[in-house]
Amino acid sequence: MADLMKEYIDEAESVLLHTYNRYQVVFDHGDGVHLYDMNGKKYLDFVSGIGVFALGYNNKEYNDALKAQIDKIVHTSNYYYNVPAIEAAKKIKEVSGMDRVFFTNSGAEAVEGAIKTARKYAYLKDGGTDHEIIAMEHSFHGRTMGALSVTGTPKYREAFQPMIGNIKFANLNDIDSVKAQITDKTCAIIMETVQGEGGIHPSDKAFLQEVRKICDEKDILLILDEIQCGMGRTGTMFAWQDYGVKPDVMTSAKALGCGVPVGAFMMTEKVAQNSLVAGDHGTTYGGNPLAGAAICKVFELFEKLDVLNNVKEVSNYLYERLEEVKASCPDIVDHRGKGFMQGLEFNKPVADIICKALDNGLVLINAGTNIIRIMPPLIITKDNVDEMIEILKKSLS
């Protein structure tokens, strides 16, 4: 069987485009907070498919809801109404306070939609087509051309120039750097409330509030990307809800469908009334009945399992235990994050540590080369944290 896993890995490398340096494992199934490879080896999962499987694997109610929807209807078209998407949008409106929802298939597409919304909003104001967007250094918004254009890591953009144009970069938590980029042409500021891929950097409250104030004064749209940090990961349903601000446009994906590929961009009524209209934007799959059913069940289970309270309680414990690890390991230079989105920064690349952890039955992932990103399912217990810490310590020694 071990050889069968190896055979599949070799086959993958001959048929899949090599855009990922994958870990040498083929996961076969999952249950709760555990994954199992093709040989039946059990792993404690502290990645959750990079923030997707918030509710853990193989949740029976979630699976049953999807199966029931599959037996009913999987897809229609956005030229017709479907009940699961309507119910999902109602729920998103209720928990986010945003007024209008557009469903996409992925996070990057949600970012594309948010960018188009901002450009159209500004276009309707002055008829210009030279508006600018300010994004943050070290941000990550996805791999499609618009999302890549506002992604603040030059190496991701370099070979694919030209980008969409009129994008400027400022530094997270440096309000002067934002002010320095604002002109009469600025139509939006886009940022992750907590940067994920760029190294787990939460926005400061004062910074985000000041950005909001500038946007209000100048009628600039504040777009918050909650694709990774949203859906309960930091202890509130959306991370910005802990900041005393509200975006004009926001994006969501990943845990929104807990495994069914779905994303969304949402906006206030004011933005909706002054931006995209029929014919401006569309998608074949976005918000189909299967995706809608997944979203509805995800929100229902969040309430039933009291997920937000679990995040608040257990993430404090996780923070303390990771502080212990930091104190005992001189290679760790920083520990930061919010809720179940925490990072351990090392003074060296972390790939070897992650491989060792995998050998020892713990799934971890990096953010950049030197940071271990801790993104467990939101249902983990303190015992799971203890187990993780033991394996991490073993993998560090």
Ligand X SMILES: Cc1ncc(COP(=O)(O)O)c(C=O)c1O
Residue numbers at the binding site for ligand X (CB under 6 A): 106-108, 111, 140-142, 192, 196-197, 225, 227-228, 253
In angstroms, the CA 42 to CA 362 distance is 9
Which are the contacts of 332, defined by CB distance < 8 A and separation ≥ 6? 325, 326, 344, 345, 346, 347
Query: Residue 227 belongs to what H/E stretch?
Result: none
Could you tell me the smallest distance in angstroms from the CB atom of residue 153 to ligand X? 12
Buried b / exposed e along 243-261 (16+ C-beta atoms within 10 A) = bebbbbbbbbbbbbbbbbb
Count the residues in the chain. 397
Could you tell me the smallest distance in angstroms from the CB atom of residue 50 to ligand X? 6
Report which of 389, 377, 367 is spatially closest to residue 200, judged by C-alpha positions: 367
> In terms of DSSP bridges, do strands 332-338 and 132-136 run parallel, antiparallel, or are they unpaired?
unpaired
Could you tell me the smallest distance in angstroms from the CB atom of residue 347 to ligand X? 25
Could you tell me the smallest distance in angstroms from the CB atom of residue 144 to ligand X? 7
Nearest CB to ligand X, comparing residues 73 and 145: 145
Nearest CB to ligand X, comparing residues 38 and 363: 363
For ligand X, the nearest residue by Cβ is 107
Nearest CB to ligand X, comparing residues 122 and 200: 200
Mapping DSSP onto H, E and C, the string for 336-368 reads EEECCEEEEEECCCCHHHHHHHHHCCEECEEEC
Q: Give the phi and the psi of residue 117 in degrees, each rounded to 5.
A: -60, -45
Could you tell me the smallest distance in angstroms from the CB atom of residue 199 to ligand X? 12
Report which of 37, 52, 101 is spatially closest to residue 376, judged by C-alpha positions: 52
Nearest CB to ligand X, comparing residues 148 and 271: 148
Could you tell me the smallest distance in angstroms from the CB atom of residue 228 to ligand X? 4
Could you tell me the smallest distance in angstroms from the CB atom of residue 251 to ligand X? 7
Nearest CB to ligand X, comparing residues 88 and 253: 253
Nearest CB to ligand X, comparing residues 281 and 326: 281
Could you tell me the smallest distance in angstroms from the CB atom of residue 372 to ligand X? 16
In angstroms, the CA 332 to CA 268 distance is 42
Q: Which amino acid is at 12?
A: A
Which are the contacts of 178, defined by CB distance < 8 A and separation ≥ 6? 134, 170, 171, 189, 210, 211, 214
Beta strands per DSSP E along 298-338: 332-338
Could you tell me the smallest distance in angstroms from the CB atom of residue 140 to ligand X? 5
**Sheet order of strands, 249-252 included:** 100-104, 263-267, 249-252, 221-225, 186-192, 132-136, 167-170
**Residues 263/107, Cβ–Cβ less than 8 Å:** yes
Nearest CB to ligand X, comparing residues 259 and 385: 259
Nearest CB to ligand X, comparing residues 106 and 366: 106
Nearest CB to ligand X, comparing residues 105 and 275: 105
